């Protein structure tokens, strides 16, 4: 054991971890009264510096993506992290904090003989989180993990943010689970397509004719990118963005200095506009709105984001509809309803997604075409659903939310309930979006609001905006204000008034 004196207890703040060096290891020290804990210095999800995190109610919150870890043992409590923090021995002697630079051995759950067969369909955010949860809880039955991609279980959010910008190669997109995680239990990974699922018989029929009988199954097939009914939509050079292969093909077609058209001014469309502009393309966005993202963020923030894009050279056309995509053997132009013709050599359709549910038998879909689940993410006996395809209860309403981290939260809950627990979604939806080097975060899900209260100005710098209904905070939008957003990620689990939120922010 190599011991290192790294800090004085009196210098530690109970709400803010301290980063220290112990030999070649970079650690964080967390104080709880007169006790200390030592953990790895960076978040296992994306490497965020955890000394910039905050301790709230016994949880250490990651500053970037709001993963949460229990400060007593480092156990992961909320995604996007899917593994526990690495722990180190730490103790106090005469007000001096000491640590051992060797990590403590990982606790492995007991694995008992289990004759059951569990199936997870889909290896995106929800499916990966579910598999990680099942393995971490010691499930030792047959676990079949099925996906149509040959190399699944990667961080899809990087595609529109970093891959299209040329800052990350498609094959460098981070994987969601480490190889060691995948070697636990009786995990079978299959590259396959499901032809049909019979919920009553608890049976899957694969495209190759094989049949799988299951005891419990999680539907996590997500959604498919939509191609609207536009003449020319199937021309070479017209793309959607959902998988790593899509990003590769799009980048092959885009050249710096040449025009590319993005149809749709959604988050994905605008993130792609930012990334392709960074790559050097001349980017044109065709949207149905004068101000993008009004429904989600409000007019003032939407205008600020549009202005940011325009300062970086992105051209907006709209409100406008696409009449046709023209070309002979390759896309050459997009024609708008007004008759305007936008020349281009590539088109990205950012026109929304639809739940991937065509293979389901005996399952009635919700009005939004999602799979209706109860608060425990259950569809029917032995069947659960999670992620983009799941319509679930939130604050007394049925909603389907296409957020990557929320899909992970769903996957964790569904997997726990497949094992016999009774967990319900009681968290706060969160996502972040990235435009020209600026990061915007959203906590909550405001379907409507009657007032927005601003601290700071979205037009000129960091800000935080409270979307409120009847003086209760429904959602928070921010650029910057990291400490407040970490605290709000936990505090918004309970009703929060505007005044209470403002007190926390200041």
SS3 state at 51: helix
Q: pLDDT value at position 63?
A: 97
Residue 307 lies in a domain: yes
pLDDT-derived band at 1 (thresholds 50, 70, 90) equals: low
Structure tokens at 6: 């790294």
Q: Are residues 210 and 156 in the same domain?
A: yes
CATH at 326: 3.50.50.60
- Same structural domain for residues 65 and 144? no
What pLDDT score was predicted for residue 473? 98
Whether pTM > 0.85 for this model: the answer is yes
pLDDT at position 506, please? 83
Q: Are residues 377 and 343 in the same domain?
A: no
In this predicted model, what pLDDT tens digit does every residue of 179-229 receive, in sequence order? 887 888 889 999 999 999 999 999 999 999 999 999 999 999 999 999 999
pLDDT recorded at residue 422: 93
Q: What is the pLDDT of residues 21-57, one digit of tens each?
A: 999 999 999 999 999 999 999 999 999 999 999 999 9
Q: What angle do CA 424, 426, 427 make, to 5 degrees?
A: 130
Can you give the pLDDT at residue 231?
A: 96
Residues 294 and 362 in one domain: no
Q: What is the pLDDT of residues 263-308, one digit of tens each?
A: 999 999 999 999 999 999 999 999 999 999 999 999 999 999 999 9
Distance (Å, whole) CA 139 – CA 118: 9
Q: Is residue 439 part of a domain?
A: no
Query: pLDDT of 88-114, one tens digit each?
Result: 999 999 999 999 999 999 888 888 889
Share of the chain above pLDDT 70, in %: 100
Kindly state whether residue 176 falls inside one of the protein's structural domains: yes
Give the count of domains, the chain: 4
Asked whether residue 29 is domain-assigned, the answer is yes
**Half-sphere exposure at residue 147, Cβ-oriented, CA atoms within 13 angstroms:** 21
Confidence at residue 88, expressed as pLDDT on a 0 to 100 scale = 97
pLDDT at position 89, please?
96
Which residue, of 324, 351, 378, is where some domain finishes? 351
Quick check: bond before 80 cis, omega within 30? yes
Give CA–CA dist 371/379, Å, rounded: 7
**Is 69 within the bounds of a domain?**
yes
Domain harbouring 21, CATH code: 2.102.10.10
Rg for the chain, CA atoms, rounded? 24
Q: 204: Cβ–Cβ under 8 A, 6 or more apart, which residues?
A: 119, 121, 194, 196, 197, 198, 211, 212, 213, 214, 217
Whether residue 428 is contained in a domain is answered as no
What pLDDT, on a 0 to 100 scale, did the predictor assign at position 109?
80
DSSP 307-367: HHHHHTTPEEE-S--EEEEEESSSEEEEEETTS-EEE-S-EEE---EEE--TTEES-PPPT
Domain assignment of residue 423, yes or no:
no
What are the tens digits of pLDDT across the range 303-329? 999 999 999 999 999 899 999 999 999
Q: Which domain holds residue 460?
A: 446-505
- Tens of pLDDT, residue by residue over 330-349, are 999 999 999 999 999 999 99
Average pLDDT rounded to a whole number, residues 7-18: 95
Q: Are residues 336 and 258 in the same domain?
A: yes
Mean pLDDT of the chain: 95
Based on the fold, state whether residues 80 and 161 are members of the same structural domain. no
Cα–Cα distance, 150 to 153 (Å, whole number): 10
Structure confidence at residue 183 (pLDDT): 81
Alpha-carbon distance 197 to 202, whole Å? 8
* One domain for residues 372 and 391: yes
**Residues 121 and 210 grouped into a single domain:** yes
Task: Note whether 194 and 123 are same-domain residues.
Answer: yes
Which residues fall within 8 angstroms of residue 113, CB to CB, at 6 or more apart? 140
Does residue 431 belong to any structural domain of this protein?
A: no
Shared domain for 249 and 320, answered yes or no, is yes
Q: Which of 378, 480, 396, 475 is nearest to 428 (CA)?
A: 475
Same-domain check for residues 213 and 124: yes
The residue with greater pLDDT, 309 or 1, is: 309
Domain stop point among 298, 329, 351: 351
For residue 188, give the H/E element and its range: strand 186-191
Residues 391-425: pLDDT tens digits? 999 988 999 999 999 999 999 999 999 999 999 99
């Amino acid at each position: 054991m190599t011991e290192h004196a790294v800090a004085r207890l009196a210098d530690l703040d109970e709400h803010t971890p301290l980063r220290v060096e112990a030999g070649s290891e970079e650690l964080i020290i967390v104080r709880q009264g007169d006790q200390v804990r030592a953990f790895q210095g960076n978040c296992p999800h994306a490497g965020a510096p955890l000394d910039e995190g905050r301790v709230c109610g016994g949880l250490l919150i990651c500053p970037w993506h709001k993963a949460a870890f229990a400060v007593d043992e480092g156990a992961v409590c909320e995604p996007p992290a899917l593994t526990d923090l690495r722990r180190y021995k730490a103790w106090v002697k005469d007000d001096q904090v000491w640590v051992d630079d060797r990590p403590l051995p990982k606790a492995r759950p007991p694995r008992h003989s289990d004759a059951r067969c569990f199936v997870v369909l889909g290896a995106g955010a929800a499916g990966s989180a579910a598999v990680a949860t099942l393995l971490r809880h010691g499930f030792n039955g047959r676990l079949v993990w099925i996906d149509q991609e040959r190399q699944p279980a990667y961080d899809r959010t990087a595609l529109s943010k970093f891959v299209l910008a040329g800052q990350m190669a498609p094959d460098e997109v981070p994987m969601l689970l480490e190889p060691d995680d995948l070697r636990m239990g009786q995990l079978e990974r299959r590259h396959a397509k499901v032809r049909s699922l019979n919920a009553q018989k608890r049976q899957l029929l694969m495209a190759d004719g094989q049949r799988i009988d299951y005891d419990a199954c999680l539907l996590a097939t997500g959604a498919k990118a939509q191609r609207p009914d536009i003449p020319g939509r199937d021309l070479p050079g017209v793309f959607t963005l959902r998988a790593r292969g899509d990003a590769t093909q799009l980048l092959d077609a885009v050249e710096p200095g040449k025009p590319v058209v993005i149809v749709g001014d959604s988050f994905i469309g605008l993130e792609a506009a930012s990334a392709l502009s960074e790559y050097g393309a001349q980017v044109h966005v065709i949207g149905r709105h004068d101000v993008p993202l009004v429904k989600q963020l409000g007019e003032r923030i939407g205008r600020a984001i549009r202005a940011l894009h325009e300062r970086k050279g992105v051209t907006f056309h709209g409100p406008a509809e696409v009449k046709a995509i023209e070309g002979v053997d390759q896309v050459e132009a997009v024609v708008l309803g007004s008759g305007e013709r936008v020349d281009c050599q590539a088109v990205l359709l950012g026109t929304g997604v639809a739940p991937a549910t065509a293979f389901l038998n005996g399952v009635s879909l919700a009005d939004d075409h999602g799979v209706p689940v109860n608060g425990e993410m259950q569809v029917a006996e032995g069947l659960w659903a999670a992620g983009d395809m799941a319509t679930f209860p939130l604050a007394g309403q049925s909603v389907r939310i296409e957020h990557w981290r929320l899909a992970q939260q769903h996957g964790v809950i569904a997997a726990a309930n497949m094992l016999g627990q009774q967990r319900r979604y009681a968290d706060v939806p969160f996502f972040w979006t990235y435009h020209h080097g600026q990061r915007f975060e959203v906590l909550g899900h405001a379907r409507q609001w009657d007032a927005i209260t601003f601290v700071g100005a979205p037009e000129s710098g960091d800000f935080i905006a409270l979307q409120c209904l009847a003086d209760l905070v429904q959602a928070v939008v921010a650029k910057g204000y990291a400490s407040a957003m970490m605290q709000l990620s936990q505090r918004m689990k309970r009703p929060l008034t505007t005044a209470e939120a403002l007190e926390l922010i200041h």
